[in-house]
Amino acid sequence: MANLLYDALFGRHIGQKTPFLHMPDGHVISHDDFIRSAARYANTLVGLGSEAGDRIAVHINKSPDALALYAACVQAGLVFLPLNPAYTAAEMEYFVVNSGARLLVCDPADHDAMEKVARRATVRLETMDATGRGSLRDLAQLQSGDFTTVDRGPDDLAALLYTSGTTGRSKGAMLSHQNLLSNAQTLGDVWRFTKADVLLHALPIFHTHGLFVATNIMLLAGGAMIFMPRFDVDQLIRLMPRATALMGVPTFYTRLLASDDFTAGLTAHMRLFISGSAPLLAETHTQFEERTGHRILERYGMTETNMTTSNPYDGPRRAGTVGTPLPDVELKICDPDTGTTLPDGDTGMIEVRGPGVFQGYWHMPEKTAAELRSDGFFITGDLGLIDDQGYVHIVGRDKDLIISGGYNIYPKEIELVLDTQPGVLESAVIGVPHPDLGEAPLGVLVPDGSVDLDLDAIAGTIGQHLARFKCPRLLVLAQDLPRNAMGKVQKNLLRAQYASAFAP
């Protein structure tokens, strides 16, 4: 037996001196240099007592060494557990304890707080900063750049990723070698990535998008990445002439469009712009195409499933949709209550099946059984429909569904109307407790500053477009919408903020 994921992504690059990581300061790391660095970390992890199947929790900033630590875990048969560096010590304790991690790696600046976590969880603690320096690198520099790869099969775990946990304690999604490899292979093919590509990588690497989609695709293709430590629009514009592709979240594109330095000439050599992790406004699609001549390719996926749909590389990239199911993915729309498959055009629960669908939730068999059917279909929790051309539309999250006076209201439908109003930058519609209706829609509007918003006039306009029961009972203004690290609006925070808006 070999190591499925390591052999495909990393092992074949041993000895290759071609560039892999271009750093913003001009430093270049070759494929071979990266693989040797990963081997030193693999030797270090094993030397610290880690064995195949152990979880390695990392709470560190993005760096080449952080990425090498991922490769080291794959090579040593360990389970990589990346965690948002913004998590507090209190949040971290849950992840470390729940995962039963063998090792916790944190930033040196967080050492004192994380030492308490490590002590309570009885886990070893090492450090690594944004440059890669720290106690773990000190140990690794004493190790060999060669490592005997540990055998791993298709169903062995490669990573444990915790979901955002907006409805309670986060769940650890178990992702296998086959889950990660199959998705990277499919996406690399449908998006036409080759060794000639240079990807602008400004995403975090504690999330599926930046770690498994962006990085794994480029490793498979044998191309290179411009490895930015974080998203910075000015730096992105400065580095874009050296790239061929960009993967981003909607915020990337709205901020690029807000810069006068972002021009058609700047993007003339670019091959592909991809967006995901949060819905992209149709207006952003239109403005981007008008400015650059490029049409953004939007796709859809989640932690538990990897990527499942994509707008086509060749063919219409339709704003407001996430494209069609990937070649190896089955997607259907089902009645949320009965699980019965619904006809095209009807709104229901999105369920998906394919080689990228996860193995279940860590130590949560009941939750796994509730969301992962025995036939392999995963109940995503997303509401959507398939139109007459086979494109998938995301209507909203099931938990975002508003039931007011017995009527079902889908927030996305209202938001589409609000977003078109003059002076509105973006909006979010939530369900708030109501003494008479049980729940009523409330709209939160973010002004773009061009005009003073007349909320009464906007309310009147909405009434011309939507049935009365769908119209928000209240509109409020906000400077911005709360978002998580990947740009998704955190409606749970808005619901908490406005919970008493209709209180008698």
Tokens of 283: 């207006």
Same fold, 4-153 and 190-397: yes
State the Cα–Cα distance between residues 119 and 450, nearest whole angstrom.
53
The pLDDT of residue 168: 56
The alpha helices in 168-214, defined as continuous H runs, are 177-190, 208
Closest to 36 in 3D by CA, of 15, 21, 51, 20: 15
> What are the sequence ranges of the domains in the chain?
4-153, 190-397, 401-497
Residue 88 is predicted with a pLDDT of: 86
Mean pLDDT score, 112-140: 97
Share above pLDDT 90 across residues of the chain, in percent, rounded to a whole number: 85
Q: What is the pTM of this model?
A: 0.86
Best CA proximity match to 380, nearest among 306, 312, 319? 306
How far apart (Å, rounded) are the C-alpha atoms in residues 427 and 446?
6
Q: What is the pLDDT of residue 164?
A: 59
Residue-wise pLDDT for 323-366, tens only, equals 999 999 999 999 998 999 999 999 999 999 999 999 999 999 99
Q: Give the phi and the psi of residue 148 in degrees, each rounded to 5.
A: -80, 110
| Cβ count near 51 (within 10 Å) | 12
406 vs 216, more confident: 216
> Cα separation of 479 and 448, whole Å?
9
Q: What is the DSSP string of 425-458?
A: EEEEEEEEEETTTEEEEEEEEEE-SSS---HHHH
User: Predicted confidence band at 413 (pLDDT cuts at 50, 70, 90)?
Assistant: confident
What is the rounded average pLDDT of the residues 448-467? 91
- φ, ψ for residue 127 (rounded to 5)? -125, 155
Of the candidate CATH numbers 3.40.50.1820, 1.10.3720.10, 3.40.50.12780, 2.30.130.10, the domain formed by 4-153 belongs to: 3.40.50.12780
Query: By C-alpha distance, which of 238, 286, 228 is closest to 262?
Result: 238
Q: What per-residue confidence (pLDDT) applies to 484?
A: 87
* 8-state DSSP, 341: B
Q: Residue written as tokens 């773990």?
A: 136
> Rounded distance, CA 52 to CA 156, Å?
10
Q: Is the pLDDT of residue 100 over 50?
A: yes
| Banded model confidence at residue 409, pLDDT cuts 50, 70, 90 | confident
Contact status, residue 30 vs residue 20, Cβ threshold 8 Å: yes
Return the CATH superfamily for domain 401-497.
Answer: ANL, C-terminal domain (3.30.300.30)
Average of per-residue pLDDT across 210-229: 97
pLDDT at 280 (0 to 100) = 84
CATH says 190-397 is which class?
alpha beta
Rounded Cα distance between 47 and 362, Å, is 26
